[in-house]
């Protein structure tokens, strides 16, 4: 009889794990960055509750092939690793802990959250 209750408990635990929504694999909060529009105006972009372990190319950054976003602020609960290149590629990257921001000198085109 004990093996049946242990099996039922294990099955129940597995169902709970499978029932966790996809948002459990997302950072909670907002990632902000500044960029310059095609018209030369400064703008602020943001990503709300970004998915974890997925590379995100930053909108507005580098769409013309030259400019990058700058001054990222990680207001999420996960570590954000920002990259100079699109596609989270290249050797130039920087990690921002939750709640941290960087200066205007830090240029970014993509980001991935832990």
Domain locations along the chain: 25-113
Radius of gyration of the chain (CA): 19
59-80 pLDDT per residue, tens: 876 555 568 999 999 999 999 9
Q: How far apart are CA 45 and CA 31, in angstroms?
A: 8
Digit-coded pLDDT (tens) for 25-72: 789 999 999 998 888 889 999 999 999 999 999 987 655 556 899 999
**pTM of the predicted protein model:** 0.74
Domain 25-113 indexed as CATH 1.10.3470: no
**Backbone φ, ψ for residue 92 (5° rounding):** -100, 105
Rounded Cα gap, residues 112 and 58, in angstroms: 10
Q: Report the pLDDT value the prediction gives residue 107, as an integer from 0 to 100.
A: 95
């Amino acid at each position: 009889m004990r093996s049946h209750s242990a099996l039922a408990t294990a099955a129940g635990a597995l169902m709970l794990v499978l029932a966790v929504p996809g948002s459990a694999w997302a950072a909670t909060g907002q990632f902000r960055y500044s960029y310059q529009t095609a018209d030369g105006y400064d703008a602020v972009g943001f990503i709300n509750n970004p998915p974890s372990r997925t590379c995100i190319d930053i909108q507005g950054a580098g769409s013309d092939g030259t400019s990058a976003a700058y001054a990222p602020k990680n207001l999420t609960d996960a570590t954000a690793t920002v990259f100079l290149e699109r596609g989270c590629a290249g050797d130039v990257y920087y990690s921002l802990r939750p709640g941290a921001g960087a200066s205007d000198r830090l240029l970014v085109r993509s980001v991935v959250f832990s």
